[in-house]
A = this chain, B = another copy of it.
Amino acid sequence: METYSIGEITKKTGVSIRTLRYYDEIGLLQPTKDPSSRHRIYTEEDILQLHKIMSLKFIGLSLEEIRQYIHQPTYDLTLKETLMLEKNMLEQKRRQLERSIQAIEYAITLLEEEGEIDSLLLMSLIRSIQTEDDQKRLMTQYLDQETVDAIFHNEELKQKENEMIKSYAQFVKQVHELYGLPTDHPDVQHMIETFLRSTFGLLSLETVEKITELLNQNQWDSFEWNEEWDVLSPLPFSKEEKQWLEQAMDDYMQRLEHMGIDMKESKEGENSGYEK
C-alpha cells in the first residue's frame, strides 16, 4: 500500500506541516511512525481522514467537535443538531459582518466627501448601525411597531442613505460652529429646520403624521434623550452642546406651535421644494 511522508501530504492537501504535527499531537490524526527514524508515515486512509477534518473545519466545527465525529463511518441525526446550531452561529456572524461592512462604507463615503472627519461623528454613525436592533427596541416604547419598521426598513430611505449621512455630518459640523449663539438666533433655528426637513423629508407622509400626532399629544417631554439612548449611541456632542441643542429644539417647536404650522405641512413644503 502506498504511503506518504509528511511533506508529501502537505503538497497533496495544502495543510501545513506544522498543522499536521499539531493534529498528531492532539490525537486528531495520528499516522504510524517509522520506529527507527521516527518519521511520520501517512496512508491513503489518513488522507481521507484529513479531508474529513478539513470539511468539518470548513463548516465551522472546532477541532474538539470534529474529534467526536471523525471516527464514525456514517453520520446520523445527532450531527443534524450540531449543524443546526452551527448554522445559526454562522448566520449571526454573517449579519454582524454585513453591518460592519455597511458601517465601513458609510465611513468611507464621509471621508471621501469631507476629507476629514470628527472622530466623535464617525463613532456616532458606526454605533448607530451597530446598535440598530436595540434602537428599534427602544423606539417601540414611544411608537408602534409598524411605524418603527417604516422608519428602519424603508427602501426609499436606503437609496438615500448617503444623503442622510451627509446631512447629519453637516448638522454636527454646524452645531460645533454655532454653539454659543443664542438658541433663538435665526441661523440656529435655520440649522434645525434644515436638519429636520432633510430627515423627515425621507419618511413617508403617514409616518410623519404618526410622529407629529405623538408630539402633539405632549409626549415630547417623555421623549427627551434618556440615559439609555446615550449608552447605545452617544451623540457626538459635549454635555453643554447637548443642552444648548435641546433648548434650541424647544424654541423651534414652540415657534412651530405659535405659527400654527405642523410638521405635516413642513414635509409637504419640503418635498415640493426639494425633489427638483
Residues in A lying within 8 Å of B, measured CB to CB: 12-14, 44, 47-48, 51-52, 54-56, 58-60, 69, 72-77, 79-80, 83-84, 86-87, 90-91, 93-94, 97-101, 103-105, 107-108, 111-112, 115-120, 122-123, 126-127, 130, 231, 234, 239
Q: Find out whether the CB atom of A115 lies under 8 angstroms from the CB atom of B76.
A: yes
With A83-B108, A126-B55 as given contacts, are A76 and B116 in contact (CB-CB < 8 Å)?
A: yes
Complex CA distance for A84 and B91, rounded to whole angstroms: 24
A93 — nearest CB in chain B belongs to which residue?
B97
Q: Find out whether the CB atom of B234 lies under 8 angstroms from the CB atom of A119.
A: no
Q: Find out whether the CB atom of B90 lies under 8 angstroms from the CB atom of A59.
A: no
Complex CA distance for A60 and B108, rounded to whole angstroms: 14
Known contacts A56-B126, A58-B130, A97-B97; can you find 18 more A-B pairs with CB under 8 A? A47-B234, A48-B120, A51-B123, A51-B127, A51-B234, A55-B122, A55-B123, A55-B126, A58-B126, A59-B126, A69-B119, A75-B119, A75-B122, A76-B117, A79-B111, A83-B104, A90-B104, A93-B97
Q: Find out whether the CB atom of A127 lies under 8 angstroms from the CB atom of B97.
A: no
Q: Find out whether the CB atom of B98 lies under 8 angstroms from the CB atom of A94.
A: yes
Q: Find out whether the CB atom of A87 lies under 8 angstroms from the CB atom of B74.
A: no
Q: What B residues does A12 contact at CB under 8 A?
A: 231
13 contacts across the A-B interface (CB closer than 8 A): A12-B231, A51-B234, A54-B127, A58-B130, A72-B119, A73-B119, A74-B116, A75-B117, A79-B111, A83-B107, A83-B111, A90-B101, A97-B97
Set B79, B87, B122, B127: member contacting A105, Cβ < 8 A: B87
Set B59, B77, B104: member contacting A104, Cβ < 8 A: B59
